[in-house]
Amino acid sequence: MLTDEMKQKIQIEIDTCPSRKSACIDAMQIVQSRMGWISDDSLKDIADFLDMTIDELDGVATFYNHIYRKPVGRHIILVCESVSCWIMGFGKIRDYLSQRLGIEMGETTPDGRFTLLPVECLGACDHAPAIMIDDQLYWDLDQNKFETILENYK
Distance from the first to the final alpha carbon of the chain: 30
Residue 117 in this model has a pLDDT that exceeds 90: yes
Mean pLDDT along residues 35-55: 97
Choice between 114 and 151, residue whose per-residue pLDDT is larger:
114
> For 75-150, CATH number?
3.40.30.10
Residue spans of the domains in the chain: they are: 4-63, 75-150
Residue 126 in this model has a pLDDT that exceeds 80: yes
Choice between 144 and 40, residue whose per-residue pLDDT is larger:
40
Residue 153 in this model has a pLDDT that exceeds 80: yes
Q: What is the pLDDT of residues 63-83, one digit of tens each?
A: 988 899 999 999 999 999 999
Mean pLDDT along residues 98-111: 95
Q: Is there a contact between 28 and 46 (Cβ–Cβ < 8 Å)?
A: yes
Residue 113 in this model has a pLDDT that exceeds 80: yes
The DSSP symbol for 124 reads -
Share of the chain above pLDDT 70, in %: 100
Beta strands in the chain (DSSP E): 75-80, 114-119, 131-133, 136-138
1.10.10, 3.20.14, 2.60.40, 1.10.287: CATH of 4-63: 1.10.10
Q: What is the pTM of this model?
A: 0.82
Nearest to 33 by CA among 146, 135, 142, 141: 135
Mean pLDDT along residues 128-146: 90
